[in-house]
Amino acid sequence: MKAYAARQLLTRIALALLLHVPLLSAAASNESLSAMDWPLQPQESIRDLSRLIYPKSASMQQRFVAEAIRLNRETQPELQPTTVFEQEHQVLIPSIRQLSKKR
């Protein structure tokens, strides 16, 4: 259980840093600005990640999950909110700033 709590803390720290660090590659389209690669940890789902990012907002959790599923539809059509992987697995997640602007 301590490992899970430590992983949650590290995830929150990483997300806080992502919110305050400007995009390094101002390269491309709106899609690239509205999404980022994220390493899901073993036994972690997109729904779990949404709960870490938005612990007090069920509506934002739902929006995060829906947008993450949409972003990964082309490359991972079987991905579901509760899909877990045995190893670290890269997925696209919505930019928290972009998702917040869509309110």
Sequential pLDDT tens for the chain (103 residues): 577 777 776 776 666 655 544 444 444 444 456 788 999 999 999 999 999 999 999 999 999 999 999 999 999 999 999 999 999 999 999 987 778 776 5
Query: How far from 84 is each of 27, 42, 68, 74, 94, CA to CA, in Å?
Result: 31, 7, 14, 18, 18
- The whole-angstrom distance between residue 78's C-alpha and the CA centroid of its chain comes to 17
Q: Where are the domains of the chain?
A: 2-22+33-101
CA distance 51 to 79: 17
Q: What is the pLDDT of residue 44?
A: 94
